[in-house]
């Protein structure tokens, strides 16, 4: 296979990617907790790992991609109680909304999308193994906790020592815990909690902690040692650190070979999050911007870098994506297959093999677009379209993209019928040799964000700018 190198958070370095089974990749990504609409931070996770799995498949790997759904936790319970609805009604509604958002962004569905509530027996089985191995204990409040200090390598993913964590008081005090750093594996049911959030277990009636959910689902579906685990940077600690402690404590073997974490989405250099109230839902953004523009905005930043969100940056992304589509419109791609031995394709491939370096890969697309604009070469246009589609871009008819409404602060004021009426009036003015009126119409349309292009044979094409 290719010499793909991935920045492994665990090693703090780029490493040659060697899957455990030749030609196969088993990959798990932490998905959404479904109690509200997905925000732009979730969009970044979905786009980043969609591109990762697409590139792995492009390299010829047989990929099993698992992205879970957390459909029971404290936030879900609170929201369901507030709304007066069942947990399943709430989560089903927001899972459907998540799929709508993901489909709009061109996210390919994972091969497997497990719901936590379908894996309660597997979670209990892992807790029993942890208890047998001396890592879990039953607290006096009825919870089952993980004894962090029993796991010798705790902190190896995040680089945090137990002493630093203790000094930082990262965990709320709980008198029932043997150590403040210990975390819950099984939560004892509370009298006021809904019945549909309670399961019977050897530890009494209750529900799983958040961390055990991903350990159980990933190990069940991909094996106890698999290739690649991804998620947002905010999950590195404590969630992924705790996953390692649980999984390796239960199985006595390495849990994951390569860990990947995408950077935060920021607003004014501050992390976007619901707790800070500075987040934008995907659907709010898609009401204003084309979904492919949003995908392009995410894809042209390196996945490990912070991503600064603003209308200015999205406007710039739309203008840049427009340039690529204009190039395709001017030179129709031929129908041959993508040539990976062509110079641009080789540079694109090298960039993607260098820790999924999409900024460099996108730069190659713009080099190609420049060549296409200069030469109108159908083979180069095919290369441009084919390479872009590898990362989920340029999949539409250029005219459809270029004529659609959308963009910055002011929504398009003219619909297609109004634009075509103005074009017809301009044609009539030119036929009457009233060139001043024809120029006035062209300039008025341009001020309204519509550019006209006169083609041979009297045809006039238009696009939004």
Q: What is the DSSP string of 387-436?
A: HHHHTT-S-S-HHHHHHS---SSSPPSS-HHHHHHHHHHHHHHHHTT-HH
Does the annotation list 367 as a binding residue? no
Does the annotation list 455 as a binding residue? no
Tokens of 374: 């200069």
Alpha carbon distance 122, 223 (integer Å)? 13
Alpha carbon distance 122, 133 (integer Å)? 17
Alpha carbon distance 270, 61 (integer Å)? 37
Q: What is the DSSP string of 4-70?
A: -EEEETTTTEEEE---SSTTEEEEEE---B-SS--BHHHHHHHHHHHHHHHHHHHTT-EEEEEE-BB
Q: Which DSSP helix (H) or strand (E) runs through 230?
A: strand 226-232
| Secondary structure class of 310 (helix, strand, coil) | coil
Does the annotation list 243 as a binding residue? yes
User: 58: cis peptide before it, omega within 30°?
Assistant: no
Distances (CA, A) of 376 to 111, 328, 370, 451, 462: 39, 9, 10, 21, 19
Q: What DSSP designation does 264 have?
A: P
Q: What DSSP designation does 110 have?
A: P
Alpha carbon distance 237, 177 (integer Å)? 20
Alpha carbon distance 173, 155 (integer Å)? 20
Alpha carbon distance 278, 271 (integer Å)? 8
Measuring CA to CA, which residue among 266, 221, 276, 214 is closest to residue 239?
214
Chain center to CA of 349: 21
Among positive and negative, which fits the CA dihedral 185, 188, 194, 198? positive
Alpha carbon distance 105, 290 (integer Å)? 9
Alpha carbon distance 33, 18 (integer Å)? 31
Q: What DSSP designation does 273 have?
A: -
Chain center to CA of 179: 35
Residue with tokens 């459907």: 96
**φ, ψ of residue 85 in degrees (nearest 5):** -130, 165
Instruction: State the binding site.
Output: 30, 214, 239, 243, 274
Instruction: State the binding site for ATP.
Output: 274
Instruction: State the binding site for Zn(2+).
Output: 30, 214, 239, 243
């Amino acid at each position: 296979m290719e010499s793909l190198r991935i920045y492994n958070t665990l090693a703090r370095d780029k490493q040659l990617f060697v899957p455990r089974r030749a030609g196969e990749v088993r990959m798990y990504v932490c998905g959404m907790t479904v109690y509200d609409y997905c925000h732009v931070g979730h969009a970044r996770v979905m786009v980043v790992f969609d591109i990762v799995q697409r590139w792995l498949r492009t390299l010829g790997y047989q990929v099993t991609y698992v992205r879970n759904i957390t459909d029971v936790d404290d936030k879900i319970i609170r929201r369901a109680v507030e709304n007066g609805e069942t947990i399943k009604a709430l989560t089903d509604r927001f899972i459907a909304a998540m799929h709508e958002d993901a489909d709009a962004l061109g996210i390919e569905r994972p091969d497997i999308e497990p719901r936590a509530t379908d894996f309660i027996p597997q979670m209990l089985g892992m807790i029993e193994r942890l208890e047998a191995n001396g890592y879990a204990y039953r607290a006096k409040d009825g919870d089952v906790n993980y004894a962090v200090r029993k796991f010798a390598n705790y902190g190896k993913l995040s680089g945090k020592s137990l002493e630093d964590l203790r000094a930082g008081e990262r965990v709320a005090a709980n008198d029932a815990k043997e150590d403040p750093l210990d975390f819950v594996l099984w939560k004892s049911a509370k009298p006021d909690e809904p019945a549909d959030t309670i399961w019977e277990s050897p530890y009494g009636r209750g529900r799983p902690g958040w961390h055990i959910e991903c350990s159980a689902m990933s190990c069940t579906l991909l094996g106890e040692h698999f290739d690649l685990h991804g998620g947002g940077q905010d999950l590195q600690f404590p969630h992924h650190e705790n996953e390692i402690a649980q999984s390796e404590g239960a199985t006595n073997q390495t849990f994951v070979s390569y860990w990947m974490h995408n950077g935060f989405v920021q607003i004014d250099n501050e992390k976007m999050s619901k707790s800070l109230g500075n987040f934008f839902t995907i659907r709010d953004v898609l009401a204003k911007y084309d979904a492919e523009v949003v995908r392009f905005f995410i894809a042209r930043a390196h996945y490990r870098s912070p991503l600064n969100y603003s209308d200015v940056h999205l406007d710039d992304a739309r203008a840049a994506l427009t340039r690529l589509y204009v190039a395709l419109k001017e030179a129709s791609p031929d129908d041959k297959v993508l040539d990976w031995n062509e110079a641009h394709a080789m540079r694109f491939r090298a960039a993607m093999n260098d820790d999924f370096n999409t900024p460099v890969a996108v730069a190659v697309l713009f080099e190609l677009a420049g060549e296409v604009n200069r030469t109108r070469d159908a083979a180069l246009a095919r290369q441009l379209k084919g390479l872009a589609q590898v990362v989920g871009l340029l999949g539409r008819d250029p005219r459809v993209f270029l004529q659609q409404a959308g963009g910055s602060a002011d929504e398009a004021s003219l619909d297609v019928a109004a634009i075509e009426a103005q074009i017809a009036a301009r044609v009539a003015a030119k036929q009457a040799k009233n060139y001043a009126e024809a120029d006035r119409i062209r300039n008025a349309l341009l001020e309204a964000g519509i550019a006209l292009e006169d083609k041979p044979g009297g045809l006039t094409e238009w696009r939004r700018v």
